[in-house]
Chains A and B, each alone.
Chain A
Amino acid sequence: MTEASQVLVWIHADSLSVADPAMIANGNAPAVFIFDDALLSKHGFSHQRLVFLYESAVEIAAQNPLFEIHHGHVCETLRSLALTFGATEIHTTSGIAPLQAKTLSLLEKDFSIRLHEPEKFVTYKGPTPKRFMNFWYKIEKDAMRFDR
């Protein structure tokens, strides 16, 4: 991860994969996964959880020489790495964790943010579901269809 790149890819814990859409879309860009010190401190994750995450990240590193693993403050680490590589864009795969949105909102005044969409399980455009069975009856056909 030494050459300048316009894009920095942020791999987060909801898309910790060599198949991450943001990374695939930016094959020659540096990418990073960051163990969030604040979250680790808040939740006190077990050793097993951390080893699983680390192993998943190491596998990405084995296949992508531009991928690094860090720990620290997520927003500041992303900002620092983006500046190091001269990146003007931060790409990541869309997630639903409020912390992701908060992190990106803190970076968007300094960097162009691009979200890549993961493949959806089903297409559902109704109101927020409240009971599972009602939801299932609405998506059942779509979920069970092979050729969609």
Chain B
Amino acid sequence: MKLRTDFTSRDDLSRYVSETFGTSGDPSPDFTGGRTEALRRLHSFSLHGYAAKRNLTEVSAVSMLSPYIRHGVMTLAEVRRFVLGKFGQGKDTYKFIFELAWRHFFQLVYAASGDKIYRDMETGKTGVSKYDGILPQDVAEARTGLRCMDYFMQKLLATGYLHNHERMWFASYLVHHRRVDWLVGERLFYKHLIDGDPASNALSWQWVASTFSAKPYIFNKEVLERCTDGVHCKVCEVKESCPFNFPPGVLEERLFGKRFEQ
């Protein structure tokens, strides 16, 4: 069935998408599709301070180009070339291209493995024998009581985007604290992330779960608080019972009954 291409506004297009595909909601406030917007972002992106600030969720240090790269609106190769040409060599450029290379790495694994990326690539290292196959209701409804995790879920649903560290923290919480199968989280992200990519998404979840890495990824409150400028912890009501408020080794023992080599 041929679809329309003549829209008078973004709202007009959004309404047509709803009518055609049965979806509801608003377009992402953060991302407008198309190469024009992709190029505008690329040309206005400043790499200054990227290496030091890219992990900070409350600072606009990341490029926000991932939806465009994922869909081939622009390629990894042209982003790499542009950045090297504009900013030259340096620690910020190095770190940025290092991050681009992760995507290429995942693509190569996907090219070789195909749909096997939806099964454990390796035996998990956690020693945990059983994971739940459904998303817990309190997580789905963003009412776990953990301000950080509830915020991440709300943000995912409202904007279709999460900072990379927010993704990692959410994934670690869901898989290691809630014992939910990584594939459940993978499905959730793939449905909502505008940059949702089979390879990057599935293999990142597996990297967190330890089925595509040497050990499970965990984080503690100190890291989350530092990277988020404490915006969640300041208003979180769990306070002393925060499940992340332990040194990394203690967290590993609580979650897995053992410590992993650092």
C-alpha gap A72/B3 in the complex (Å): 10
Residue from B4, B13, B77, B190 in contact with A51 in the complex, judged by beta carbons closer than 8 Å: B13
State the Cβ distance, A83 to closest chain B Cβ, in Å.
Answer: 15
Distance from B25 Cβ to chain A, minimum over Cβ atoms (Å): 4
Write out the residue numbers on chain B whose beta carbons fall within 8 Å of the beta carbon of A139.
101, 104
- In the complex, are the beta carbons of B23 and A135 less than 8 A apart? no
Residue of A20, A59, A68, A71 ringed by the most chain B CB atoms within 10 A: A59
Distance of A83 Cα from B213 Cα, bound (Å)? 48
Q: Chain A at the B interface: mostly helix, strand, loop or mixed?
A: mixed
Choice from B71, B97, B213 contacting A143 with Cβ under 8 Å: B97
Contact, CB under 8 Å: A98 / B114: yes
A35 within 8 A of B: yes
| Residue A16 is within 8 A (CB to CB) of chain B in the complex | yes
What 1/0 mask marks residues of chain A from 11 to 49 whose CB sits below 8 Å from any chain B CB? 001111111100000000000000100001001111111
Q: Is the CB of A146 within 8 A of B21?
A: no
Which residues in B have their C-beta under 8 angstroms from that of A69?
2-5
Contacts of A93 in B (CB 8 A): 72
Contact A48:B194 (CB < 8 A) given known A16-B72, A69-B2, A69-B3 = yes
Residues of A within 8 A of B113 (CB): 128
Which residues B61-107 have CB closer than 8 A to chain A?
Answer: 67, 71-78, 80-81, 84-85, 88-89, 93-94, 97-98, 100-102, 104-105, 107
Cα A13 to Cα B16 with chains together (Å): 19
- B21 to A14, Cβ gap below 8 A? no
Contact B25 A54 (CB under 8 A): no
Contact pattern, B 151-174, Cβ under 8 Å of A = 1, otherwise 0: 000000101100000000000000
The stretch that binds B, out of A2-10, A103-111, A115-123, is A115-123
Q: Are B21 and A35 in contact (CB under 8 A)?
A: yes
Contacts of A43 in B (CB 8 A): 187, 190-191
| A80–chain B nearest beta-carbon distance, Å | 11
| CB of B180 to closest CB in A, whole Å | 19
List A80-136 residues whose CB lies under 8 Å from chain B: 93, 95-98, 118-122, 124, 128-132, 135-136
Chain B 23-59 interface 0/1 with A at a Cβ cutoff of 8 Å (1 = within): 1111110011111100000000000000000000000
A56 pairs with B84, CB closer than 8 A: no
Contacts A120-B77, A131-B213 aside, 9 further interface pairs with beta carbons under 8 A come to A15-B72, A48-B25, A48-B192, A51-B27, A54-B17, A54-B33, A71-B21, A131-B214, A135-B105
- The answer for the CA separation of A118 and B3 in the assembled complex, in Å, is 27
Closest 9 CB pairs of A and B: A55-B33, A59-B34, A56-B33, A15-B72, A48-B160, A47-B23, A61-B5, A47-B25, A128-B112
Cα of A10 to Cα of B160 in the assembled complex, Å: 27
B60 CB within 8 Å of chain A: no
Contact A53 B33 (CB under 8 A): yes
The verdict on A59 contacting B71 (CB below 8 Å), with A51-B13, A98-B115 known, is: no
User: Smallest distance from the beta carbon of A16 to chain B beta carbons, Å?
Assistant: 5
Q: Does A58 contact B (CB under 8 A)?
A: yes
B16 neighbours in A (Cβ, 8 Å): 54
Q: Which of A62, A118, A131 contacts B75 (CB 8 A)?
A: A118
- Chain B residue contacts of A57, Cβ below 8 A: 5, 33
Q: Are A55 and B32 in contact (CB under 8 A)?
A: yes
B21-A50 in contact (CB<8A): yes
A41 to B24 CA separation, bound complex (whole angstroms)? 15
Q: Are A118 and B160 in contact (CB under 8 A)?
A: no
